[in-house]
Amino acid sequence: MLQYTLSTFPSFAAFFAVAMAVLGVFLAVYLWATPYPEIALVRQGNVAAAVSLSGAAIGLALPVSNVVRNSHSLVDVAVWGVIACVVQLLAYLVTRLLLPHLAKDIPEGNVASAILLAALSIGVAIVNAACMEG
C-alpha cells in the first residue's frame, strides 16, 4: 500500500506543479491587468484589495482543481487552465463595467465593491468548473 502511494508521488508533483504554474501566471497577469497595486495595498492593510485578490485566486483555483481531478494529461491541465484564466479575466472586465469606479474603490478600501468582485469571480468560477470535464 505505501509502495503504491509513493509510486504515485511523481504524478502528484507534476500535476501540482502545472496547476501552481497556471495559478502563478494568472495572478501575474491579473495583477498587471488591474490598474491598482494590489500587493502593495494588501501590505498596507487594505482589506478591499485583499478580498478582491483572494476572490480572483479562488476563482481560478476552483476550475483548475476540477480539471486536475478529471484529467489524465498535464496538457489538459495547462490548456483548460489557460481557458479558466481567460474566463476569470473576463469576469473582472464585466465587473469593471458594472462598477465603473472599481479602479478607484479598491485603493480607497471600499469593501462592498471588493466583495462583489470576489463573489462574481467565485460564482463564475463555480460555473466554469462545472463546465470543465477535462
pTM tops 0.85: yes
pLDDT in tens, the chain (134 residues): 778 878 889 999 999 999 999 999 999 999 999 999 999 999 999 999 999 999 999 999 999 999 999 988 999 999 999 999 999 999 999 999 999 999 999 999 999 999 999 999 999 999 999 998 74
88: closest CA among 41, 53, 114, 113? 53
The residue ranges of every structural domain in the chain are 2-131
Is the Cβ–Cβ distance between 92 and 114 less than 8 Å?
no
> Residue 81 is placed in which grid cell?
487552465
